[in-house]
Amino acid sequence: MPCPALPGRPFGTLDCGTHSYPVIDGIPVIRHGQVPVQDHTTDTVEVTGPTVATLLADVRAGRGHRALVRLLAFDPELPWPLPRIPVLRTALTTGPALPLARWHRRRTVRRLLTEDTASQTAQDWMQLFYLRSRGIDREQYTYFFHRFAQPRTLAALALLGTLPQHDPRPVLDLACGFGHLTHAIGHRGHEVLGTDRNYFQLWVARHFLAPKAQFVCADAADPLPFAEGAFSAALCADAFHLLPGKQHLVGELRRTTPDGPLLITRTGNALVQPNEGRELSPTGYTDLLGDLHHQVFDDQELISAYLANTAPRPLDQADTRKWITILATPRPVTAPRPRPDGHWPHAAGTLTVNPVYHRTPTGTGEQLLFQFPSCWYAFENHAMLDYHLPATTVDAATLADLDAGRGQAAVRELISGFAVIGVPDRYARAR
């Protein structure tokens, strides 16, 4: 039986019939067995993680912060270049060095948690997780930190206008990750609940990206732990093709979101190589929807519609398109209305120079140069070249307007060229 409500306290238990789940720093952990860190494109376990039973024991004994450290303190990376030396690698991973390194990482996390977190940013924690931890793909840092202006993000932003405006129920952001779209949806005035299987991403989202949203750590392969009709709409961005049990999941989305739209963005087409995850054909996806009305969009069309502020055109035939988006509703689908002139959803939040730009002082301002953060990132997001300014010079007065949050003409031009974007208040470190 789905649990109807979340407790208001940061540490405690959520009791649902015969089951109990820990609430760790305001986030219910509705998992079974271990709470691992899993690769976002596969089911690969990168960090084993504690068990739910261990977390429950900590919380019940009044040691909630110990449970939080267990979830956030990943094994540190071995010192470079020692992992390449077999003898040293064996000594570091089987001898006393590894327990000592783990103790030091737990100490580091405890210190960060007891510091004034107002001085910390999402970037600090992402770097700790991805660049200074063992067994985790470092490229995930660039993928997540530079996510706000990626093509896949614009494809989702293009259809946020389909979310119901006057429904008090929250929007479900399924597989929300660090909450980049949770942030965008919240800025539209919606209540949002984000859920993901990786606790540490939700913790960063709750503290740094979308502090007004609610979050639940749960696996989409399990029944969704929410009541019938709990949500006004549901979004699953850049993840649906990776998830198992799609028919069951669609049934759960329809149960929890019976009246509103289901928005499945950037899901992979199995008919176009290469494939990843558990992709289906476009027909395979739409067959899951039963009697729901639906439209299928090409993600490139959505990006073009977002940039031109026009209504996107649905596809009649999607078999040759690699990345598609599906909008399904109980009633006939209506296209989102154009935005007010000058309104850019990617500017929601605190305006700042897009972190993907290299900034060089010029004496009278700064030169901004677009640079992909890695070769892999360039391969995945080469379409960013189509709408980002390649380079520009910003004078001191415009930088002052930007720092003061003033949307003067020069700032608005930089926003339209994606050299300036909106981010949460404590997303990136001050330059």
- What local confidence, expressed as pLDDT, does residue 87 receive? 59
Please determine, for residue 137, whether its predicted confidence score (pLDDT) is greater than 90: no
* Angle (nearest 5°) at CA 278 between 215 and 34: 45
220, 225, 231, 237 alpha-carbon torsion, rounded to 10°: -10
**Beta 391-395 vs 365-370: how paired, if at all?**
antiparallel
pLDDT > 90: percent of the chain: 78
- What local confidence, expressed as pLDDT, does residue 85 receive? 63
Average pLDDT over residues 283-310: 96
Query: By mean pLDDT, which of 170-184, 211-225, 335-349 is the weakest?
Result: 335-349
- What local confidence, expressed as pLDDT, does residue 310 receive? 93
Please determine, for residue 96, whether its predicted confidence score (pLDDT) is greater than 90: no
More confident residue, 6 or 22: 22
- What local confidence, expressed as pLDDT, does residue 81 receive? 57
Question: CA separation (Å) from 34 to 27, 47, 52, 53, 72?
Answer: 16, 10, 6, 8, 14
58-78 residue pLDDT tens: 999 999 999 999 999 998 876
CATH 3.40.50.150 placement within the chain: 151-329
Please determine, for residue 2, whether its predicted confidence score (pLDDT) is greater than 70: no
Average pLDDT over residues 103-109: 92
- What local confidence, expressed as pLDDT, does residue 65 receive? 93
- What local confidence, expressed as pLDDT, does residue 90 receive? 59
- What local confidence, expressed as pLDDT, does residue 317 receive? 92
Average pLDDT over residues 146-154: 97
- What local confidence, expressed as pLDDT, does residue 117 receive? 74
- What local confidence, expressed as pLDDT, does residue 93 receive? 58
- What local confidence, expressed as pLDDT, does residue 92 receive? 57
Please determine, for residue 83, whether its predicted confidence score (pLDDT) is greater than 60: no
Please determine, for residue 4, whether its predicted confidence score (pLDDT) is greater than 50: no
- What local confidence, expressed as pLDDT, does residue 6 receive? 41
CB-CB contact of 196 with 178 (8 Å): no
Q: Average model confidence (pLDDT) for the chain?
A: 91
DSSP 186-223: HHTT--EEEEES-HHHHHHIIIII-TTSEEEEE-TTSP
404 confidence band (pLDDT: 50, 70, 90): confident
Average pLDDT over residues 172-184: 98
Please determine, for residue 184, whether its predicted confidence score (pLDDT) is greater than 90: yes
Taking the CA of residue 11 as centre, how many other CA atoms within 13 Å lie in the half-sphere pointing to its CB? 15
- What local confidence, expressed as pLDDT, does residue 421 receive? 97
Domain covering 151-329 in this structure, CATH number: 3.40.50.150
Q: 22, 51, 53: which is closest to 34 by C-alpha?
A: 51
DSSP class of 334: -
Average pLDDT over residues 191-211: 97
More confident residue, 16 or 10: 10
